Structure 1
Amino acid sequence: MTLVAFDLDLSALLLLERNQIREKTDWPTVKRYAELMANGTIFPPVRVALTDPTNATKGYTLVDGWHRVRATQEIGRGAISAAVVAAEAHEIPWIAYEANRGHGLRLKMTMVERREIFRAYVKAGRHKTGRGRGIKSANAMGKDLVGVVMTPTWLDGLRFPSDLQSHEPQRT
């Protein structure tokens, strides 16, 4: 799937901390990106989702590209190259994780980040098998969660079974 990039005004961009898969922003990376941008380096477009898929005028929610957005703000630019991805709100953190494991600043994989990645995995419904009625084995989940070591201790603090329930929107 090829994403089409466009210039997105930063004022139309919604930055929701709950979608940030990282524990915190790495400011040295922001500074490095800002310097590169100021000197003409072209970065890949950030990924965004329509905030309200039924109304494109309501703006966009950042999916992937927090450090690039912060760097763009740092150098005083009002717009950034962006591409729209199809994503519902509950899928955004998982899509962010998938993007982060493939490019840019590597995740530190702190316990907090590991738990957030697992929560994102569950909220996106990736822990389900087949038609979504069963739950994958720990082995199958481990293959999906490359780099996130699954041990009993890092799961401490998750509320089971509520964190394993689907977080898909209720249909009315």
Structure 2
Amino acid sequence: MKKENDKELKNKLKEAEKQRDEYLEGWKRAKADFINYKKEEGERLANVVTSAEGAVIEDMIRVLDSLNLGLVSCREETPEKKGMELIRTQLEDALKKYGVEKIQIEVGEEFDPNTQECLEVLESKKPKGTIIEEVEAGYTMHKKVVRPAKVKVAK
């Protein structure tokens, strides 16, 4: 009778251990699923924020373009022009806080299709494939191109 009791207890113990292992595996899977969910949700939220930021940044860049055009048309130094220049500086500083930087273009440098868009290829005394004019400024945000610089390139 004692052997039967021992055998029965051993069977119950094995069954309990098996059930424990199943619960532990289920818990581990649930934990891994939850960790993956948190990671994916964080990435999704970051993409939503980045997308929204990008749209606002593009709008701000267009405002900066308009402001620059207005400043070019002001030939004389007036208080209004100085005020517009201050506003431009504030806008540029605000953009910098969000990681936006103007793509630096030098006439005569090699055309870079990663950061520049060629609008026109023209005859020039400059070497072939070099920039002869910047038509519109380009910008990056956190090292990613938001808007390529629009340039004219030597033929």
Please give the TM-score of this superposition, normalised by the length of structure 1: 0.19
Which is helix-richer, 1 or 2? Answer: 2
Please give the TM-score of this superposition, normalised by the length of structure 2: 0.21
